[in-house]
Amino acid sequence: MVIGQSMSIVDATTLAPVEGVVLVSAPRGVTAISDAKGHVELATFVGRDWIVTNHLGYQPDSVATKAAAGAVMRLRRKAIGLEEVVISASRFEEKRRDVPEQVDVIKRREIAFLDQQTTPDLLQNSGALFVQRSQMGGGSPVIRGFEASRVLLVIDGVRLNNAIYRAGHLQDLMTVDQNAIERVEVISGPGSVVYGSDALGGVVHMITRQPRFRDGGGIGTSGSALLRGSTANSEKTASATIELRARRIASLTSITASDFGDLRQGSVRDSRYGDWGLRPFVVRTEDGKDSVHVNPDPLMQEPTAYKQIDVLQKLRARTGSLLHTLNAQLSTTTDVPRYDRLSEYARDTLGNYIPAQSEWYYGPQKRMLVSYGLEAERSSGVFNRARLTPSFQWIEQSRHSRGFGSSRLGHRTEQVQVLGLNADFEKRFAKHELRYGAEFYGNTVQSRAEREHIRTGEITYLTTRYPNGGSSMNSYAAYVSHTFEASEHWVLSGGLRFSHVDLETRFADDRGYQFLNGSYAQRNSAVNWRLGAVWMPGRQWRITALASTGFRAPNVDDMGKVFDSQPGVVIVPNVDLEPERTMNVEVGVSKVVTDRLQAEATAFQTFYTHALIVSDYSFNGQDSIDYDGTQSRVTALSNQKEAYLQGVQGRLTLVLCKPLIITAGATYTYGRVRTDSTDRPLDHIPPVFGRAGVQWTGKRVQAEAYVLFNGWKRIADTDATPGSEDNLIYATADGTPAWYTLNARASFAISSKLALQAGLENIADVHYRTFASGVSAPGRNLQLSLRFSW
């Protein structure tokens, strides 16, 4: 008898409960679904012979009904399959196999196993993206040769890109706690039909964990905790999550605190570039006087240390057919040293070091987001599903710098407030899926600056980074998309979006760049489209074709910023900018062989017009000006005539046997700016990069050995124009050398509640820098983590 009894379903490797497993009786007729603790009541299965399991992420299994009571079923994960559901491609759930875009998904169990320090580290070690770094406390993702303001970051359906996202390298991704993320979906290629401006290269959509409801009465509690330490930067991280569940209301709280010390680089160096990346000196300031000291350990990149705290609070409630979600996020750091600037130096005639900077750091990077989600479902009418998401964001960033020997420390602070509203609807009928919606985002930017005397505290004038009269940027959009499942072999889709962006800045500086004083406004509109097809001639083949356009309107950073991109080069505003546009075509093919081998490849060509690229400029007839005491060449963003990008991405998964899996992937991108003579390299284009690994899973144990690699980025393929973001100043005379690292990690489930993880990264202790980065990557890094759940 099984009346009143239950069984449990857990992951065979981690022993963690598996929620959402569908159990079907054999003979058919009875179904049940496992709850948040993996439990399933068996009373309804009386009189049935077998129980069969079904879950998108796990291999099917079965158990005799008579043996099920009190049993624990251990399910093995699927290594191959396109049946998983993705959200980012259309803002609503749909099967990945029906989407013509390339979508890489990093699930929570992979996030936990990779066990990285930050979200940029997670993306880089997953192999899905290339990540640039100017300091340890940052990480700027690159998709198909587009970076920073040309890649859209989204969290829980709310765009993070704001009016001061710059064309250079960004550190904003670090403000998202990877311990609170449920999954990351990376869309490669233009996403402007669904997401609007900025999604030229692609979209990184981070979806945080959701509190789960309790099926029965009363209140259920669960939680988890993480303790982690790493040797390369003396990392100490503690993270805790607490979940409260009732039938109609649920809560999830996540808090992570991290302390990162100075970063040690690898000791095994290329003999051709023996001192490249070394930190031979440090600056000390005593009684207001700077002095240079020999660094006792040149492998230690001082200063790179910082601390960070991240908080996520979610509340969900069910009222009738409506679902309400309150989502609050807060992230803050200590000061984050800008290591690339602090490592710059010259030498005098005696060979002594003359640092360029004594101080250069970002102030606390603060991000607050509050959003409310209202979801409704109904069986008839103009929609079957609707989602309304009003949101508010508050962001503060600051930059602080002081030249070597100077007595004055400059402070520049920016505050951005963003009001947002997304309204998305879905209607399904027959073989059609219609999705439509509207969007509004309103940005206000305030910028202030001052210069402080480090001994007396005297405050004096300093030019602001953005117009000191304030700036605003408002965007309005409406979209519609349609998917038609023409047959079991064909899925056709298309979409259209209209976007309008208003931008206004006001310069009111009576001491600095008075030639700009006054108000400047832009009004930009765009219509974007996409057409896609997925052809599945047989169960084992999938062929895709996609054509789409992208759009990015100039923002406050583009039109209103004055800053030095590198010593001796200053970028000034250009109020005559036009929107950037892309047109992308791509084809993809994937093949599954007997559920043991899956190979997929995508080739793309992107035509990039009105590209905003830094070039020589002048004002008042001058090609150089004094900026912060340095005579600097004048440059500005301008719309170049045309550029193009092309490349290929490939992935391979091979199941040698049930516990042993080989994975490999690589991405190659080529980009050029067209000129009247010889086309020149487009900046932000990474070298070929990828990841390959061998993973073994067994009862309680998961282990992987993997290689991360980058090819050469030669000088001939690097943009050497003034103000380029390729940062030749931080490379060798030949460019950025190729590199690879050997890495290994393992996880052991001591019990269903306790797991131990260990990782050894860059085993050979190789010294390397990722392309365009101003800080060397970690050397050999031993990482130990303890995870506890209840």
Q: In terms of DSSP H, where are the helices of 306-445?
A: 339-342
Q: Burial, 631: exposed, middle or buried (Cβ in 10 Å; 0-12, 13-18, 19+)? A: exposed
In 3-state terms, what secondary structure has residue 477?
A: strand
In the beta sheet, which residues pair with residue 387?
375, 424
DSSP 29: S
Q: Which of 526, 531, 519, 527 is nearest to 573 (CA)?
A: 519
Indicate whether 40 pLDDT > 60.
yes
State yes or no: pLDDT of 2 exceeds 50.
Answer: no
pLDDT at 622: 77
Q: 15-31, pLDDT tens digit by residue?
A: 888 888 888 887 767 78
Distance CA 306, CA 234 (A): 11
Q: How much is the pLDDT for 513?
A: 62
pLDDT digit string, tens, across residues 168-200: 888 899 999 999 999 999 999 999 999 999 999
pLDDT for position 100: 94
CA angle 623, 624, 629 (to 5 degrees): 170
Mean pLDDT of 432-445: 96
Each residue's pLDDT tens digit, 656-705: 988 899 999 999 999 999 888 889 999 999 999 999 999 999 889 999 99
Which carries the bigger pLDDT value, residue 676 or residue 584?
584
CA dihedral 196, 197, 198, 204 (to 10 degrees): -20
Distance CA 450, CA 512 (A): 12
d(CA 168, CA 171): 10
3-state SS of 528-562 is EEEEEEEECCCCCEEEEEEEEEEEECCCHHHHHCC
Q: Give the CA angle between residues 379, 383, 389 to the nearest 5°.
A: 120
pLDDT at 547: 97
User: Where residue 543 falls among pLDDT bands split at 50, 70, 90?
Assistant: very high
Considering only residues 211 and 720, tell me which one the structure prediction assigns the higher pLDDT. Answer: 211
| Bridge partners for 129 per DSSP | none
> What is the pLDDT at residue 38?
81
Comparing CA positions, the residue from 245, 190, 168 lying closest to residue 561 is 168
Mean pLDDT of 223-248: 96
* Inter-CA distances, 468 with 155, 515, 544, 554, 730, Å: 30, 14, 49, 19, 32
Q: How many Å apart are CA 638 and CA 576, to the nearest integer?
A: 8
The answer to whether residue 628 scores a pLDDT higher than 80 is: no
- Per-residue confidence at 1, pLDDT binned at 50, 70, 90? very low
Which residues touch 90 (CB under 8 Å, ≥6 apart)? 99, 194, 435, 481, 483
User: Is the predicted pLDDT of residue 479 greater than 70, yes or no?
Assistant: yes
Cis check for the bond before 303: say yes or no (omega within 30 of 0): yes
- pTM equals 0.92
Chain CA centroid to CA 349, Å: 45
Alpha-carbon distance of 720 to 681, in angstroms, equals 8
**pLDDT-based confidence at 563, cuts 50/70/90?**
low
Residue 725's pLDDT band, with cuts at 50, 70 and 90, is confident
Q: How far is CA 295 from CA 232, 285, 409, 774, in A?
A: 17, 15, 24, 18
Give mean pLDDT, residues 495-514. 86
Residue recorded with tokens 């409704």: 376
**pLDDT tens, position by position, 42-78:** 877 777 777 888 887 788 888 887 777 778 888 887 7
C-alpha span between 201 and 584 (Å, rounded): 10
3-class DSSP state of 110: helix
- Looking at every residue in the chain, the average pLDDT score rounds to 91
**Using omega within 30 degrees of 0 as the cis cutoff, is the peptide bond preceding 27 cis?**
yes
Nearest to 614 by CA among 580, 632, 633, 637: 637
Task: Give the range among 63-67, 207-211, 461-465 with minimum mean pLDDT.
Answer: 63-67
Tell me the backbone φ, ψ of residue 354, rounded to 5 degrees: -120, 95
Both structure tokens of 534: 């997925």
Q: What is the dihedral of CA 555, 561, 564, 569, to 10 degrees?
A: 90
CB contact set of 382 (below 8 Å; sequence gap of 6+): 425, 427
DSSP-based three-state secondary structure for 147: strand
661, 683, 657, 686: which is closest to 672 by C-alpha?
A: 683
CA distance 469 to 448: 9
Interval 612-618 mean pLDDT: 80
> HSE of 285 in the Cβ direction (CA atoms, 13 Å)?
15
Tokens of 723: 């103000």
Q: How confident is the model at residue 752 (pLDDT cuts 50, 70, 90)?
A: confident
Quick one: tokens of 36?
């948040």
Which residue in the block uniquely carries the two structure tokens 């990015």?
Answer: 552
Q: Are 460 and 480 in contact (CB under 8 A)?
A: no
Q: Are 192 and 549 in contact (CB under 8 A)?
A: yes
State the maximum Cα–Cα separation within the chain, in Å, rounded to a whole number. Answer: 93
Q: What is the pLDDT of residues 288-306, one digit of tens each?
A: 899 999 999 999 999 999 9
Please tell me the predicted confidence (pLDDT) of residue 744: 98
State phi, psi for 21 to the nearest 5 degrees. -75, 125
Q: What is the DSSP letter of 298?
A: T
Element (H, E) at 120: helix 119-126
Amino acid 596: pLDDT? 87
> What pLDDT, in 10s, does the model give residues 515-539?
567 788 889 999 999 999 999 998 7
Is the distance from CB of 184 to CB of 123 less than 8 angstroms? yes
Q: Which residues of 604-624 are buried (b: 16+ CB within 10 A; e: fewer)?
A: bebebbbbbbbbebeeeeeee
DSSP 8-state symbol, 600: E
pLDDT digit string (tens) for 119-171? 999 999 999 899 999 888 889 999 999 998 999 999 999 999 999 998 888 88
Kindly tell me if the per-residue pLDDT of 623 is higher than 90: no
- For residues 88 and 203, the answer to whether their CB atoms sit within 8 Å is yes
Alpha-carbon distance of 374 to 387, in angstroms, equals 6
